[in-house]
Copies of this chain bind each other. A is one copy, B any other.
Amino acid sequence: MVEDAIHGGRPAPLALMVRATDEPGSLHTLTRVIFEHGANITYVDIAERREDSSTIYFELEEHPTVDAEVLIGDIQALSIVRSVEQAPSFAKVYGKRIIVVGGGAQVGQVVVGAVAEADRHNIRGERISVDTIPLVGEENLAAAARAVARLPRAVALVLAGAMMGGDVARAVYEVREKGIIVLSLNMPGSVTKAADLVVSDPVQCGVMAVMAVAESARFDINRQRGRHY
């Protein structure tokens, strides 16, 4: 499930950065050429927008019938296109993402643990990123939790606050349904019931979040579900 969230167990994709005119229909024109080559787009985003142009980033599934050089030439030949470059894929550079949300004091300590542990796994060839946002208020926190399910490459969420419940807990159930692992600090509020795992110490919580998603850890979240540490 965690691997699926990255690139579906498929081979490393062809990654292209295309600088093109920023106008309605640009993406439609680019996707026509890619479709004509029979390539499946596994990831796309618009990385940079300037006055009159934008950089669109594509990852394409590798396929024996897709000739990368001819495809790049055909994209380059479009009148809306200024440049095409090959790039390493985000999955290769930044890998899986753990998202930490909550209060500044707690988020900072969770990240100290998570980054130190991710370092140990990344040295062994994994790619684990730790992303954060400090936020106040049930509505903001619930929106941030729900958005994790649609953040590219996100696999786990850590709730790092001193009181969270209500709509935040509902958001936790929703993202768990979509395959996101959720850890919570111990705190007042219903999120501790909604989370997969509750850890009181923030540094330890960050470490365990990384262990739960790392390939090179022997930590099985299924055996820890519902536990409090």
Q: Chain A residues in contact with chain B, CB under 8 A?
A: 4-5, 7-8, 17, 22-28, 31-32, 34-35, 38-50, 55, 57, 87-88, 90, 92-95, 97, 103-105, 107-109, 111-113, 115-120, 122-123, 127-136, 140, 143-144, 146-147, 149-152, 178
Contacts of A122 in B (CB 8 A): 133-136
Knowing A4-B50, A8-B49, A132-B115, the reply to whether A88 touches B35 (Cβ < 8 A) is no
Q: Bound complex: CA of A93 vs CA of B144, how far in Å? A: 6
Residues of B within 8 A of A28 (CB): 28, 31-32, 34-35
B27 touches A41 (CB 8 A): yes
What residue of chain B has the Cβ atom nearest to residue A44's Cβ?
B44
Q: Find out whether the CB atom of B105 lies under 8 angstroms from the CB atom of A147.
A: no
A117 nearest in chain B by CB position = B104
5 closest Cβ pairs, A-B complex:
A104-B119, A47-B150, A119-B134, A28-B31, A108-B112
Known A-B contacts: A31-B31, A42-B49, A95-B133. Give 15 more (CB < 8 A). Answer: A17-B150, A24-B38, A47-B152, A87-B146, A88-B143, A90-B147, A93-B143, A94-B151, A104-B115, A105-B116, A108-B111, A109-B112, A111-B132, A130-B133, A131-B132
Would you call A48 and B104 a contact (CB within 8 A)?
Answer: no
Centre residue among A57, A129, A150 by max chain B CB count within 10 A:
A150
Task: State how many angstroms separate the Cβ of A204 from the closest Cβ of chain B.
Answer: 14
Q: Are B133 and A120 within 8 A (Cβ)?
A: no
User: CB within 8 A of A40: which of B22, B38, B57, B93?
Assistant: B22
Bound complex: CA A150 to CA B47 (Å): 4
A152: nearest chain-B partner, CB-CB: B45
A74 to B34, CA, bound (A): 23
A129 contacts across to B, CB distance below 8 A? 131-133
Task: Let me know if B116 and A150 touch, CB within 8 A.
Answer: no
Q: How far is the CA of A227 from the CA of B7 in the complex (A)?
A: 42
Task: Given A111-B132, A133-B129, check contact A46 B47 (CB 8 Å).
Answer: no
